[in-house]
Amino acid sequence: MKKKSKNKIIKVRNLTKSFDNNLILNNINLDLFEKESLAIIGKSGSGKSVLLKCIIGLLTPNKGSIKIDGREIVNSSSKDKEKILLDFGVTFQNGALFDSLSVWENIVFRTIKFKKLSKNDAKNLALSIILNLGLDKNILNLYPSELSGGMQKRVAIARAICDKPKILLFDEPTSGLDPITGSIIDDLIKNTVSRLGVTAITITHDMSSVFKFADRVILINNNQIEWVGEPKKMNNSKNQTIKNFLKNK
């Protein structure tokens, strides 16, 4: 296994999240090490996306602490949150591109806020990223509504990685994609982590993806982290949910 940093970049402690009386996450503890690639698996509705949204401060837990590089995000001011969020590149499950911006404008949206890039340089930056994702240069000037679902997904990934954030969070980056495109995304996640030294959390139900890019896997089930381990350890796991996930691989 690759040698990983011992620095904990994300520390989740006793995280509990419910909506009214509907308990979703119960007392979750999780450490993420720098330069680690973590996969989160679990049945639909188990709380994977909720956990991700808590980590970036979009949802506030009922209880617990989440530290990003030592900085508490739970109940922090919106100014502090904004600062912490600069470390993140995120893709949401539904893509969530800006409808009124073209593809290239979407991709460089944050980068041009902080770096003075000419329009030409910004467009070229966007171009280099989309080519790596198997997209065609002709889409740069299109708008999200003019793209297929899979293309939108990849543009969202391009936007997340554009300014080389420290931590990447991907929510179902390959769902709905054909296997070849899915494989391009898997490789991209793997390479981004190993080459750029990025830390990544990826929610996926695609077990072949997990084996490709994850250093460690967590299974969320019954409101808790029910299983943690290296991907290859899943093969001998007695956990029924893990077995079911592997069966449908």
Residue 189 phi, psi (nearest 5)? -60, -45
The CA distance from 31 to 9, in Å, is 8
Q: From ligand ATP, Mg ion, none, which one binds at residue 102 (CB under 5 to 8 Å depending on kind)? A: none
* # of chain residues touching ligand ATP (CB under 6 A): 11
Joined tokens for residue 23? 């308990």
Neighbour-count burial for 126-159, b at 16+ CB within 10 Å, e otherwise: bbebbebbbbeeebbeebbeebeebbbbbbbbbb
Nearest approach, Cβ of 175 to ligand ATP (angstroms)? 9
Q: Quick one: which of 37, 46, 49, 204 contacts Mg ion (CB under 5 A)?
A: 49
Of 64, 4, 29, 10, nearest in space to 201 by CA: 10
Q: From Mg ion, ligand ATP, none, which one binds at residue 24 (CB under 5 to 8 Å depending on kind)? A: ligand ATP
Q: Is 139 in the site for ligand ATP (CB under 6 A)?
A: no
Pairing of the two strands 167-171 and 224-229: unpaired
Q: From ligand ATP, Mg ion, none, which one binds at residue 57 (CB under 5 to 8 Å depending on kind)? A: none
Neighbour-count burial for 14-51, b at 16+ CB within 10 Å, e otherwise: ebbbbeeeeebbbebebebbbbbbbbbbbeeebbbbbb
Nearest approach, Cβ of 49 to Mg ion (angstroms)? 3
Nearest approach, Cβ of 205 to ligand ATP (angstroms)? 7
Nearest CB to ligand ATP, comparing residues 102 and 202: 202
Nearest approach, Cβ of 22 to ligand ATP (angstroms)? 6
Q: From ligand ATP, Mg ion, none, which one binds at residue 42 (CB under 5 to 8 Å depending on kind)? A: ligand ATP
In angstroms, the Cα distances linking 191 to 2, 63, 195 are 13, 35, 6
Residues 73-112 that bind ligand ATP (CB under 6 A): 93
What is the per-residue binding string for ligand ATP in 35-54, x denoting contact by CB under 6 A?
A: -------x-xxxxxxx----
Contact status, residue 169 vs residue 153, Cβ threshold 8 Å: no
| Contacts to Mg ion by CB under 5 A | 49, 93
| Contacts to ligand ATP by CB under 6 A | 19, 24, 42, 44-50, 93
